[in-house]
Amino acid sequence: MSEDGELIPENLRRPASSSTASSPLQRTIADYNTIKEIGEGSFSTVYHAREMFETRRDVAIKMCLKQQILRQKRIDAIMREKNILARLSTKENIHPFIVGLYCTIQDTDHLYFVLTYASEGDLATILKKLPNRRFDEAQARFYTAELVEALDHIHSLGVIHRDVKPDNILIQASGHILLSDFGSAKELSAIKEAPAENPPDDRPKRRASFVGTAQFVTPEMLKGQPVDETCDYWAVGVSLFQFLTGHHCFHDESEYLIFQRIQKLLYKFPEDFPENARNLVVDLLVLEPNGRLGSSERGGIADLKSHPFFEALDWKNLTSSEPPKKS
Ligand code: ADE
């Protein structure tokens, strides 16, 4: 275990295991057999690995370099991600469509998040590999419904994701989704408690990091306004459009032009876009956050779930329902 307590806060050196139950011991990275690298982000590398102890589960290990965390002043962000993941991973809160944190580990140079593994990759990559680069309506409905269900769960716990996009929706071996990457997530209470004249100290960083995926930025983020859970519903609309067309609804040659399109709500459906899906996207891509379907002003999540696009969908039995066939 690390000796550099002065660099990394004490609670980051503790495993999340006390709240995740499945790993009561302090694990070390030697307890895992790394199988292969499966992803690389700006702040981390993700590996597929296997537990070398009794449970022998496949896991995903997100590895962050401590030096990079310190240099890029991301300690608060990493701590927030760890705390949110740990809270979403308790016995009471764990959800089948949300990535779970088994434990955190550190050695001299690294921090590791040991996470539920999704073997089939992310929906953005899956889409790109399809012959026509899009899902059919049944597939799009299934993934959108599971996403809405996952968001309903985290919102009910006061957590907003803030980076919902097909790249962060993973598919498990079962065919069901796993919402991942809580690196931009925030607890709603933390947002609401921030006094208006004294914006949260991460506000400039938050805007900068959000600009990472221009196509998914919300109008309120562009205006520098605080966001609430309705930013995730905007992202459901953008994702559904991508599922059914294979491309972003707000696309252009530069980030500047993409932002102009978002602020003016300039996007166009292809002729063959299914009617109920079109109506749902229109109801979600509303400039004013409290005008979006899913907002408390628009009937909350119940009205989103009863939209005609989801007609006949058995919300209660999503986990046991058959995932769509690969096309
Ligand atoms: N990439 C990022 N997180 C992952 C996970 N939990 N499973 C598989 N691939 C991932």
d(CA 97, CA 95): 6
Burial class (CB in 10 A: 0-12, 13-18, 19+), 284: buried
Tell me the pLDDT tens digit for each residue of 306-319.
999 999 899 999 99
Q: Which two tokens stand for residue 167?
A: 């790249």
**DSSP-H helix ranges across the chain:** 10-13, 17-20, 66-71, 75-88, 123-129, 137-156, 188-193, 203-210, 219-222, 230-245, 255-264, 275-284, 300-305
Between helix 275-284 and helix 137-156 the angle, nearest 10°, is: 30
Report the atom number in ligand 1 closest to the C-alpha of 117: 7
Nearest CA to ligand 1 atom 4: 60
Element (DSSP H or E) covering residue 27: none
The pLDDT assigned to 190 comes to 63
State the Cα–Cα distance between residues 82 and 59, nearest whole angstrom: 16
Task: State yes or no: is 163 an active-site residue.
Answer: yes
Tell me the C-alpha distance between 280 and 238, whole Å.
Answer: 11
Q: What is the pLDDT of residues 122-181, one digit of tens each?
A: 999 999 999 999 999 999 999 999 999 999 999 999 999 999 999 999 999 999 999 999
Q: Whose CA is nearest to atom 9 of ligand 1?
A: 118
**pLDDT tens-digit series, residues 28-55:** 999 999 999 999 988 899 999 999 999 9
The finding on whether 60 has its CB within 6 A of some atom of ligand 1 is yes
Give the separation between CA 139 and CA 127, rounded to whole angstroms. 11
pLDDT for 324 equals: 85
DSSP characters over 199-244: --TTHHHHHHHHGGGGGG--HHHHTT----THHHHHHHHHHHHHHH
Q: How confident is the model at residue 188 (pLDDT cuts 50, 70, 90)?
A: confident
Question: What does each C-alpha distance from 132 to 19, 126, 240 come to in angstroms?
Answer: 44, 11, 16
CB 144 within 8 A of CB 151: no
The pick from 34, 47, 62, 167 for probing ligand 1's pocket by mutation, whose C-beta has the most ligand atoms within 8 angstroms, reads: 62
